[in-house]
Amino acid sequence: MHKLLPHFHSSAEISYPTAFQMLWKQLKSMEAHFASTLLSCNINSLYHFLLILCLHETNKVQT
């Protein structure tokens, strides 16, 4: 039978969870920023659509 060797961690392996947590926070921040930007774009698109629709309806009434 093989003896199990003790498991040693290098300093890079020990700091891995911390690095992963930092990366995860950055990704969550980027996701929140992207969602906010996307929402803003969608609101602006909806506003422009409604404005065009109102102008179109106004032109129908005048003719």
Integer Cα distance of 41 and 35 in angstroms:
10
pLDDT at 58: 80
- pLDDT tens across 9-35, in order? 555 555 667 878 888 888 888 888 888
Task: Please give the Cα distance from 14 to 20 (Å, whole number).
Answer: 11
DSSP the chain: -PPPPPP---HHHHHHHHHHHHHHHHHHHHHHHHHHHHHHHHHHHHHHHHHHHHHHHHHHHH-
Mean pLDDT for all residues in the chain:
76
CA dist 62 and 55 (Å) reads: 11
pTM metric for this prediction: 0.44
